[in-house]
Amino acid sequence: MHPPAPDVRWDVVGLGANAVDFVYRLPAAPAIAGTFSKMRISRQSISCGGQMTTALVACSRLGLRAKYIGATGTDDNGRRIRAELAHHSVDLADAVIHDAQNQYAVIMVDDTSGERIVLWDRDERLHLRAHEIPERAIVTARLLHVDDVDQEAAITAAQIARQAGLVVTSDIDRLTPRTADLVSAVTVPIFAEHVPTGLTGATDLETALRQLRAVHSGLLCVTIGVDGAIALDGDTIHHSPGFTVHAVDTTGAGDVFRAGFIYGTLQGWPTDRVLRFANAAAGLSCTRPGAIGGVPALPEIEALLAADLA
């Protein structure tokens, strides 16, 4: 006997990383040797980011009811990220505070291209424990989004969600001994560009996605920066090109892409439309500084999509 379906309370519940970003804008891309091994910083700032929290703020901005599950720290950065999420109406009732420094990142942005390097650290004490995964809240959502920072928690939460019939989207951007298990646990793996070839040993993305079909029967997606995104749907490859924008800071683009993907999925759109919307949202996020700071609003995305058709 199945229990009666609980009332849906959240459009999206997200489990994963939050971070405060220490952003240094540089006149060029840094290099280990030569002219660009030493540079004067053009500008510095502190802003909120983190892949899960950026994605959830973007979802909230799109009008979705969003809830965050993860651990923040007891320091100023922990307070800062909690205030930012609350400000953007992301629910924190099941987020926990651990006695540790909050996760943070040092981000170096190249002023000429908007591309960035992310250096991060995370106190081990921020790990989410099994009893901190709020099963009752997860099953009252329409969709669960996970990343690969707390992989054990992500896999457990994904299993709970799928058992309850939820779609589980993801942000998979590292290769670890548990990556393959995380891929199997989610409904839609959304990979960073280097992951599918790294997982399979294939030399090109399309071959890699087709090889991953052996272990995952659902939609497989990968973001490819300025070139947009590629997805394998059944045995069809979709390539959705990126939007031409003036990129000033690509930090958070992958997170905003996933928020757009989640929005489109919850609308029940076909794959091509989901990818196009996600690319438009992510492209807009590149036109302004910061991860959470770059999150676009729905009318702007709709305007970019309409302009592209014109």
State in angstroms the smallest separation of the CB of 245 from ligand ADP: 5
Report CA torsion sign: 286, 182, 165, 92: negative
State in angstroms the smallest separation of the CB of 198 from Mg ion: 16
- CA angle 69/72/78 to nearest 5° reads 140
State in angstroms the smallest separation of the CB of 51 from ligand ADP: 8
Contact 183, 209 (CB under 8 A): no
Q: 262: which 2 tokens?
A: 């989640």
Q: Does 118 bind Mg ion (CB under 5 A)?
A: no
Rounded to the nearest 10 degrees, the angle between the axes of helix 51-61 and helix 76-87 is 20
Residue 49, binding choice from ligand ADP, Mg ion, none, Cβ under 5 to 8 Å by partner class: none
DSSP-based three-state secondary structure for 160: helix
Residue 279, binding choice from ligand ADP, Mg ion, none, Cβ under 5 to 8 Å by partner class: ligand ADP
Q: Pattern 245-274, binding to Mg ion, x per CB under 5 A?
A: -----x------------------------
Cα 209 to Cα 147, 189, 272: the distances in Å are 19, 11, 17
Among 50, 70, 134, 254, binds ligand ADP (CB under 6 A): 254
Contacts (CB under 6 A) with ligand ADP, residues 14-33? none
State in angstroms the smallest separation of the CB of 292 from ligand ADP: 14
Cα 104 to Cα 18, 53, 77, 148: the distances in Å are 8, 13, 8, 16
Among 286, 291, 295, 301, binds ligand ADP (CB under 6 A): 286
Report how far residue 11's alpha carbon sits from residue 44's, in angstroms, rounded to the nearest whole number: 35
Instruction: State which residue, 137 or 224, has the beta carbon closest to ligand ADP.
Output: 224
DSSP-based three-state secondary structure for 261: helix
Report how far residue 20's alpha carbon sits from residue 203's, in angstroms, rounded to the nearest whole number: 35
CB under 6 A: which stretch of 42-50, 92-100, 177-185, 246-254 binds ligand ADP? 246-254
Residue 171, binding choice from ligand ADP, Mg ion, none, Cβ under 5 to 8 Å by partner class: none
Instruction: State which residue, 10 or 104, has the beta carbon closest to ligand ADP.
Output: 104
Q: What are the residues whose beta carbons fall under 8 Å from the beta carbon of 24, sequence distance 6 or more?
A: 41, 43, 44, 106, 107, 108, 109
Rounded to the nearest 10 degrees, the angle between the axes of helix 298-309 and helix 271-285 is 110
Q: Pattern 203-242, binding to Mg ion, x per CB under 5 A?
A: ----------------------x-----------------
Among 170, 223, 265, 271, binds ligand ADP (CB under 6 A): 223
Question: Site residues (CB under 6 A) for ligand ADP?
Answer: 173, 192-193, 223-226, 228-229, 242-243, 245, 247, 250, 253-254, 257, 279, 282-283, 286
